[in-house]
Amino acid sequence: MTRVLVTGAGGMLGRDLLAVLRTRPDLPVTAATRAGLDVTDAGAVRDAVGGHDVVLNAAAWTDVDGAETREADATAVNGDAVVHLAHACAVSGARLVHVSTDYVFAGNAVEPYPEDAPTGPVNAYGRGKLAGERAVARLLPETGYVVRTAWLYATHGRNFVTTMLRLAAERDRLDVVDDQRGQPTWSYRLAERLVALADAALAGDAAPGTYHGTAAGETTWYGLARAVFALRGLDPDRVRPTTSDSFPRPARRPRYSVLAHGRWAAAKLPPPEDWHADLAEALSLPRPGTPR
């Protein structure tokens, strides 16, 4: 029986990974929360990985702006900790499926980034995540998988979608950025895809390397906000477009974060679904975070 370790199990994606794995009795899972496993501790990571066949790494420093002033701390989680995980997996023989980000790219493209596009992060968070990617490629050339995602949301926790719903109840009008393009990605759908990739990896159907785990299609934050309003029966015209300059942030954001999905077919896995359909399903759930 295949044993799975989920790191970052208390976070948004980690919670959804556990929800998906609960539907798979053939995949007994160990849930490692931040309190239970310090991924920056090489010895603790080695002990946690032992006895598992697959590690799904959802542990991450996600404070993009905070990373600008605490880059070493952010990289310790997003880069150095991945080195520890990869070393441990190399010793134990486990597959590692590591979640990365669109922020490894500069964001100046005009068409979707393929998996092998040149990287060029524009902020500290992206640099740390790129270090993690390189660790997987260097240490696990045959058993390491990197899955880049972007614009992740859920109906639980703090994210753009839940923030829009909260602000809709507090304000008559919302100004939302309309000059950054990306792919809104439902955390639960990504979790399903990560588990499917792990299955394919164990079956020998998925080649190691980098995959893009975003939804299909593209929009702006403004377009996503309007879609959230419409799906909840609210007037989308309450959302007004604005520019990134209106919301200065410590960390520079990529203006274009659309990713291509060419490698899934080779792994005998279906392409990602459209973001509109995923958002509609997510917002139709009977209670937050509970898949139907």
Write out the catalytic residue numbers: 125
Measured between its terminal Cα atoms, the distance across the chain in Å is: 26
Q: Which residues contact 21 (CB under 8 A, 6 or more apart)?
A: 4, 6, 27, 29, 195
| DSSP-assigned letters across all residues of 45-83 | HHHHHTT-SEEEE------HHHHHH-HHHHHIIIIIHHH
Longest CA–CA separation in the chain, Å: 56
β 239-242/174-177 pair status: parallel
Looking at residue 122, the DSSP 8-state letter turns out to be: S
> Which residues sit opposite 256 in a β-bridge?
181
- The Cα–Cα gap between 18 and 114 comes to 29
Nearest to 262 by CA among 194, 216, 196, 230: 216
> For residues 178 and 242, is the Cβ–Cβ distance under 8 A?
yes
